[in-house]
């Protein structure tokens, strides 16, 4: 029951932390969760008395998190900066072990050198979770991102192996450099090789299941989730690094992806969503646990220590040592990389020193360090003959907090996360280019079959292009002017209905179209595809799919509907001509909308009844007996539904053409395709095909 209470409490705290993250500015989510864990442990207490074995903590939380991170890291950047990454993940860890060890032993002689070295080894790993959170608040360049993410994936293994040898030296007093080097090589290299082999097995199983025709999204995603746990346990049973095995497998699986199909696109989207949620929960648990353990660690160490204030001093000094050693190492690594021609020359010394601070402070210590510290045996004794385990854990916890605080407050100040004007312009240009290509494709294919419905959709796309290319002010004014017009159009249609000049069928049909346009306008600015925009789309599609058209279309009602729409366009033109303009941008937006409605009116005046409502085409394999002799006219809503489905299909081709012509990058094409795939999935689920 205590375990169940703890699980429910953790989920509640994590859920509340998401709310506070939106309300509290300037504080990263990991720090919020640590603070909430501390507060919960102080106020509630008992459920947090349940401790988790450190090895179990590594397999339950760290393994899946690192597997997910290894699948997301840029493989090209990782390969490009691999020498620097290995330097930080191995060389810097060893340097930190000795630097922290000797300084701590010098400042506090009661801590033996071997015991001090164990603390230095525990401080070797950086926290991949904290690095990911940091990337959302600070604008890291490509090299900094590659170094921090790559280092966090690899240095866990080097830190753990160093820690194990340091503990052996502290407990037994025996140490062999040859044995340590051999064991380190076996654990490090063996972990990578084991991970690659198991990654091949994972790919083989996945492809075998597909070859049997068992293409199940549920199976694939569930198999993905189980993979890091199985790989970690197998690697550890072979006495090699389970952490590196998980990382190696994750990198291999990403480097050799499944063939690109609609099925794999669906898997990718579902898998990404599941891992996002799972990763968020695991991250939250890790930091809440870290926070919940701090009160007992601090209280116990403070009470047991003969000089509590000296512990705080040691925390600050050791934190400074860790940071300074790391800073010097990063500066040297950047300078060597520049001399090798792999990095742009620095115009001044500041261009070398300031980015190095970002990389230095951007690698804070975290849950892995605390987990390693908890494995310290009680047999580690000080010179006075008493166990110093709690004292070392206190120092590790204090250093974790110091590095996290510096990463949270200093790094964003050095390199604030801001989207540059060039990046905004580029994204707008890419989206506008896709829409222009899409308009050409739709017009070439459906101009004669669905002229009015096509004109409505093309008009909407052109407004989006104008908003993307002209500027935010034009976008806001144009959208508001359009919304005001729709509101007045509704009032005008209601007046016509009350005077008996149009039927209920024509009124309801036009009202439905206006309502759809209004929803699109209110939610069209979709810089990134989020849950809100997805829900808006699903709601619109579900309404369109379930809408029952009132009345039957016949030649008379079709003509009446066309006349009603012509009257509506005349009203729109008259309304816009009389709208006062207070700025040049307002004049530009009004002129743009006037041109749209005049073109639509002209299109309606020259459109026949058959073109207006259209008769669905039958497939080539339909037999003559299956075709009703009476034509079934498509309503405007049905035509718009059909064209929206076709527009998404054609949009994929437009994206591919732009990519082949090198007008957009691979990253941009992937982002756009993912949005289209998600929309297609929703259409398929709603039965609009």
pLDDT tens digit sequence for 80-139: 888 888 888 888 988 999 999 999 989 888 888 888 888 898 888 887 666 666 666 667
Q: What SS3 class is residue 566?
A: helix
pLDDT tens-digit readout, 476-516: 787 888 888 888 888 888 888 888 888 888 888 788 778 87
Q: Which fold has domain 1-415?
A: Na+/H+ antiporter like fold (1.20.1530)
Model confidence band, residue 347 (pLDDT cutoffs 50, 70, 90): low
Q: Which sequence spans correspond to the domains of the chain?
A: 1-415, 426-470+637-688, 479-607
pLDDT at 69 over 60: yes
pLDDT at 415 over 80: no
Query: Please, are residues 380 and 392 in contact by the beta-carbon 8 Å criterion?
Result: yes
- What local confidence, expressed as pLDDT, does residue 317 receive? 93
pLDDT at 625 over 60: no
| Mean pLDDT, range 328-352, rounded to an integer | 77
- Return the residue matching tokens 């008259």: 574
- pTM of the full structure: 0.64
- Collect all residues with Cβ–Cβ distance below 8 Å to 521 and sequence separation of at least 6: 479, 482, 483, 486
Helix intervals (H) in 363-420: 367-374, 389-414
Q: Which of 141-145, 214-218, 230-234, 497-501 shows the lowest mean pLDDT across its residues?
A: 214-218
- What local confidence, expressed as pLDDT, does residue 128 receive? 67
> 230, 244, 243, 160: which is closest to 202 by C-alpha?
230
Query: What is the C-alpha to C-alpha distance for residues 353 and 331, in angstroms, rounded to an integer?
Result: 7
- What local confidence, expressed as pLDDT, does residue 639 receive? 75
Q: What SS3 class is residue 478?
A: helix
Q: Is the dihedral of CA 564, 566, 570, 575 positive or negative?
A: positive
Report the mean per-residue pLDDT for the chain.
76
Query: Please, are residues 254 and 69 in contact by the beta-carbon 8 Å criterion?
Result: no
Residue 516 gets which letter from DSSP?
Answer: H
| Mean pLDDT, range 48-52, rounded to an integer | 60
Query: What is the C-alpha to C-alpha distance for residues 574 and 564, in angstroms, rounded to an integer?
Result: 15
pLDDT tens-digit readout, 519-574: 767 655 444 334 344 334 434 443 443 343 444 455 566 677 778 888 888 888 88
Please tell me which residue, 651 or 174, carries the higher pLDDT value: 651
pLDDT at 296 over 80: no
């Amino acid at each position: 029951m205590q375990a169940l209470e703890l699980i429910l409490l953790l989920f509640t705290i994590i859920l509340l932390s998401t709310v506070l993250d939106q309300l509290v500015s300037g504080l990263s989510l990991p720090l919020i969760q640590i603070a909430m864990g501390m507060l919960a442990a102080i106020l509630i207490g008992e459920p947090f008395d349940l401790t988790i074995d450190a090895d179990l903590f590594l397999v339950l939380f760290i393994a899946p998190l690192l597997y997910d991170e290894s699948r997301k890291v840029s493989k090209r950047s990782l390969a490009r900066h691999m020498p620097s990454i290995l330097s930080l993940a191995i060389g810097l860890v060893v340097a930190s072990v000795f630097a922290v060890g000797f300084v701590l032993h010098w400042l506090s002689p009661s801590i033996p050198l071997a015991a001090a070295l164990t603390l230095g080894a525990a401080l070797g790993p950086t926290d991949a979770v904290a690095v990911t959170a940091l990337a959302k608040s600070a604008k890291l360049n490509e090299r900094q991102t590659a170094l921090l993410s790559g280092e966090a994936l690899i240095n866990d293994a080097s830190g753990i192996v160093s820690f194990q040898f340091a503990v052996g030296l502290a407990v037994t007093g025996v140490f062999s450099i040859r044995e340590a080097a051999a064991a380190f090589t076996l654990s490090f290299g063996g972990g990578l090789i084991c991970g690659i082999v198991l990654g091949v097995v994972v790919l083989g199983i996945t492809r075998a299941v597909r070859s049997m025709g068992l293409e199940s999204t549920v199976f694939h995603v569930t198999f993905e989730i189980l993979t890091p746990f199985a790989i970690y346990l197998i690697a550890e049973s072979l006495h090699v690094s389970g952490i590196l095995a998980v990382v190696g497998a994750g990198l291999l699986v990403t480097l050799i992806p499944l063939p690109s199909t609609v099925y794999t696109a669906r898997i990718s989207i579902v898998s990404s969503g599941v891992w996002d949620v799972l990763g968020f929960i695991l991250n939250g648990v890790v930091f809440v646990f870290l926070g919940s353990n701090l009160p007992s660690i601090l209280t116990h160490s403070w009470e047991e220590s003969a000089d509590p204030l000296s512990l705080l001093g040691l925390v600050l000094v050791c934190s400074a040592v860790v940071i300074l050693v790391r800073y010097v190492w990063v500066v040297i690594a950047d300078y060597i990389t520049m001399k090798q021609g792999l990095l742009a020359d620095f115009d001044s010394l500041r261009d070398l020193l300031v980015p190095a601070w970002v990389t230095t402070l951007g690698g804070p210590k975290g849950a892995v360090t605390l987990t390693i510290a908890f494995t310290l045996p009680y047999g580690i004794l000080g010179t006075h003959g008493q166990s110093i385990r709690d004292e070392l854990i206190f120092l590790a916890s204090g250093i974790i907090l110091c590095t996290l605080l510096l990463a949270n407050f200093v790094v964003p100040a050095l390199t604030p996360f801001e989207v540059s004007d060039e990046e905004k312009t580029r994204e707008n240009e890419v989206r506008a280019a896709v829409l222009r290509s899409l308009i050409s494709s739709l017009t070439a294919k459906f101009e004669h079959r669905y002229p009015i419905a096509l004109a409505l959709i093309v008009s909407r796309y052109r407004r989006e292009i104008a908003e993307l290319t002209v500027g935010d002010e034009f976008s806001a004014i144009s959208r508001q002017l359009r919304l005001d017009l729709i509101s007045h159009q509704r009032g005008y249609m209601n007046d016509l209905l009350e005077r008996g000049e149009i039927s209920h069928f024509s009124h309801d049909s036009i009202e439905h179209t206006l309502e759809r346009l209004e929803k699109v306008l209110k939610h069209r600015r979709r810089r990134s595809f989020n849950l809100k925009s997805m829900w808006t789309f699903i709601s619109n599609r579900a309404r369109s799919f379930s809408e029952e058209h009132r009345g039957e279309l016949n030649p008379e009602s079709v003509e009446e509907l066309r006349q009603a729409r012509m009257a509506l366009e005349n009203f729109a033109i008259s309304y816009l001509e009389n709208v006062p303009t207070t700025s040049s941008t307002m004049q530009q937006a009004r002129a743009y909308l006037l041109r749209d409605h005049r073109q639509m009116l002209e299109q309606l005046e020259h459109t026949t009844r058959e073109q207006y409502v259209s008769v669905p085409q039958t497939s080539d394999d339909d037999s003559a007996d299956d075709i009703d002799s009476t034509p079934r006219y498509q309503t405007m809503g049905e035509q718009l539904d059909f064209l929206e489905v076709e527009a998404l299909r054609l949009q994929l081709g437009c994206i591919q053409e732009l990519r082949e012509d090198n007008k957009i990058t691979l990253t941009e094409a992937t982002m756009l395709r993912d949005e289209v795939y998600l929309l297609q999935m929703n259409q398929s689920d709603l039965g609009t095909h």
